Amino acid sequence: MPEAAAGGRALFEIYDEGFDSPSWGGVETALWHLVRSLREAGVDAGFYRESEGADLDALAARVERERVDAVFPLVESALFEGAAWRRLPGLHARTVRIWHDVSRLSADLSKPPPCPVHADRPASRGEPEAEGCVAHGAHPGGPMREVFLRDLPWTRCFPRRSVIPWAADHVPAKDLHDPSGPVVLQLGKIDTVDAERCLRRLTGAGVPLRVMFATWSRRGREARELVRDHLGGGRRIEVLDSYDIRADWERVFGGASLFLLPSLFHETFNFAAAEAVQLGVPVATLGEGGNLPRFASLRAPTLDELLDRVVSDGGRALEPKPRPATGWRDVAARYAEVVREGRHDG
């Protein structure tokens, strides 16, 4: 059995595609930079793949054998289903659930419903799970610990919670905004019929577009095919099929007038919006959008109203929101505390 790591030892679950997938998204961005920063802070941090985590008994044995202090499964892990935690209490006691999406509370990733129990009074440690709590099926009482990316009302159902945002300083602080440049448009988070309406409205108004896709979603893949059908005919559309933001940040956001992100999802963070702000490009999006108001210079309640604003001024009159003050070193320092809270004494 290895010795306990002086700075703590942690394991993070990643999707089987790893970090070489063309559908790299926010989870991969977060875990790549978090683990690198944790290692710099002295935490022995590593990964295991989703298929490996499917065998909970093997995972529990590894945690015990390697004296792991904290395990960070993906939010959709089988660890959080049913009553598995009753059978593997040692594993769950060292488990930390990062809420990178709200799928455990809202199947379509829309805003979780308000909780009639904890709307005015957050849950307290040690109290029994309340009947009528909207998070009842997600085991809000633990025994795992919870990390949320923002203090929102639905997080208050969970008594063992920390609020630790992600960061965006993996791209440099730049001013790439050009009011006369193209609109960077991300598709894949609205219905395909609405994505087509969005394209027709913007190209019909002569708005130059640089389009990227949330390719991890079915809607994103459908949108990519849709955009290909709109190429040509004098339409000014540049397509970003894939990119690595670590190296391609200027290709994505350089000279952009606006980052347009129509999303029906309850975004727990949204890296593309954070990266746009870090690079000095204003963001426009729909409605509340979870964490998106933190980054959005323009919000509208409906897609038509949002497109009206974009067509009328294309972001020329908008200023980007202030850059996040939190960097990855700050995030890692907070996570190091979470890891050490679960110190393996066995």
Q: Are residues 81 and 216 both part of a single domain?
A: no
Q: Quick one: average pLDDT of 74-79?
A: 89
Kindly report the CATH number assigned to the domain that includes residue 205. Answer: 3.40.50.2000
pLDDT of residue 131: 82
- Give, as one character, the DSSP assignment of residue 143: S
- Tell me: do 58 and 162 sit in the same domain: yes
Q: What is the percentage of the chain residues whose pLDDT exceeds 70?
A: 95
Could you tell me if residue 213 is inside a domain? yes
Band (345; pLDDT cuts 50, 70, 90): very low
What is the spatial distance between Cα 105 and Cα 108, in angstroms, rounded to a whole number? 9
Examine the pLDDT at 160 and tell me if it is beyond 80. yes
Closest CA to 183 of 315, 285, 322: 315
Per DSSP, helices labelled H in the chain are: 26-40, 50-53, 56-65, 84-87, 89-93, 192-204, 218-230, 245-253, 271-278, 303-313, 328-341
Query: Given a cut of 90, is residue 110 above it in pLDDT?
Result: no
In a domain, 175, yes or no: no
Each residue of 163-215: pLDDT tens digit?
A: 999 999 999 999 999 999 999 999 999 999 999 999 999 999 999 999 999 87
Mean pLDDT computed over 66-76: 95
Q: Which domain holds residue 124?
A: 9-167+328-341
Closest CA to 320 of 338, 289, 345, 295: 295
Same domain, 158 and 15: yes
**Mean pLDDT of all residues in the chain?**
89
Cα–Cα separations (whole angstroms), residue 32 to 35, 44, 91, 295: 6, 14, 23, 22
Whether pLDDT at 23 is above 70: no
Co-location of 42 and 131 in the same domain: yes
Record the pTM: 0.91
- Check whether residue 89 and residue 198 sit in a common domain: no
What's the average model confidence in pLDDT over 104-113?
Answer: 88
205 and 163 in a common domain: no
Give the pLDDT confidence score for residue 258 in this predicted structure: 96
CA 6-12-13 angle, to 5 degrees, is 160
- Say if residue 95 is in the same domain as residue 190: no
